[in-house]
Amino acid sequence: MVDGILYICATPIGNLEDITLRVLRVLGEVDLIAAEDTRHTAKLLHHYEIKTPTTSYHENNKETKGKQLIERLRGGAKIALVSDSGMPGISDPGRELIQTCHDEDITVTICPGATAGLSALVLSGFTIHPHVFEGFLPRDKSDRKRILGGLVTEHRTMVFYEAPHRLITVLTEMRDMLGDRKVAIVRELTKKFENVSRGTFTQILDSYTDTAPRGEFVIIVEGAVEQVVDFPENVQEHINGFMGQGHSEKDAIKLAAKERGVSKSEIYNQVKRK
């Protein structure tokens, strides 16, 4: 028997009209729709009078349900993969199913459409070339700080997703780690209350003093400005320069290491060897 096909189908990120004619046709023709949340997808299917059966495929059942879907595909089924909104495989477990299909030589094709990250980036007016997609930051605070720490010198425009109940916390951490740089908060894309707020982290945070964040958010963060730092070739002279500004030797070593793009221990070892 000929293997089936997995169709990666982009669904609306807000407005139900933001769906392609091809996706509507495919959703109506496949044998099964694998949805992140069948209740959410049911609203879309009802709106367009699509009667195709659905099954849940989400983070908590991806291993067992993934195997079942692969078996169906092996048996010749045509299955559409959808997320709650936008393109499957970006911020949902769809990537694992897609990867497994490739590993097992099952045909995969894509029916493109709306994507929140790219749509928000274009709408924000920030620099697009180049940019980097970071998606949702981890729930654990220490993990978030580790990732943000690695983005301090990232010169590309950064794109994040965030939930309303964590927005203020995450924006505060970004300001503390990345500095008070420019940011755009894109809210409720393609919906009635779509909104773009631009400013510094502090300005955006101040706007939430009296009004709590509501809706779905995409955060667009300005990349770091690349600076050419002129420092002495001699390491000890570099350290002495900072100490002359009133810094302790320990802090001077730390500052010299940062400017030279090396670890503190490397600077310390160079000085002590002399």
Q: Supply φ then ψ for residue 139, to 5 degrees.
A: -75, -35
Q: What is the layout of strands, in order, in the sheet containing 54-56?
A: 54-56, 32-35, 78-82, 5-9, 107-111
220, β-bridge pairs: 159, 184
Nearest to 103 by CA among 75, 135, 143, 70: 70
Encoded tokens for 20: 């392609």
pLDDT at residue 54, rounded to an integer: 98
Q: What is d(CA 101, CA 103) in angstroms, rounded to the nearest whole number?
A: 5
Pairing relation of β-strands 182-187 and 195-200? antiparallel
- The torsion region of residue 102 among left (phi > 0), alpha (psi -120 to 50) and beta comes to alpha
Q: What is d(CA 219, CA 161) in angstroms, rounded to the nearest whole number?
A: 6
pLDDT at residue 154, rounded to an integer: 93
User: In tens digits, what is the pLDDT along the chain, a chain of 274 residues?
Assistant: 568 999 999 999 999 999 999 999 999 999 999 999 999 999 999 999 999 999 999 999 999 999 999 999 999 999 999 999 999 999 888 999 999 999 999 999 999 999 999 999 999 999 999 999 999 999 999 999 999 999 998 999 999 999 999 999 999 999 999 999 999 999 999 999 999 999 999 999 999 988 889 988 999 999 997 655 577 878 888 888 787 888 888 888 888 888 777 888 888 777 776 5
Distance spanning both ends of the chain, measured CA to CA: 74
Nearest to 181 by CA among 215, 233, 220: 220
pLDDT at residue 115, rounded to an integer: 94
Encoded tokens for 196: 């773009």
Q: What is d(CA 214, CA 173) in angstroms, rounded to the nearest whole number?
A: 19
For 168-184, the three-class secondary structure string (H helix, E strand, C coil) is HHHHHHHHHHHCCCEEE
Q: What is d(CA 37, CA 41) in angstroms, rounded to the nearest whole number?
A: 6
pLDDT at residue 273, rounded to an integer: 64
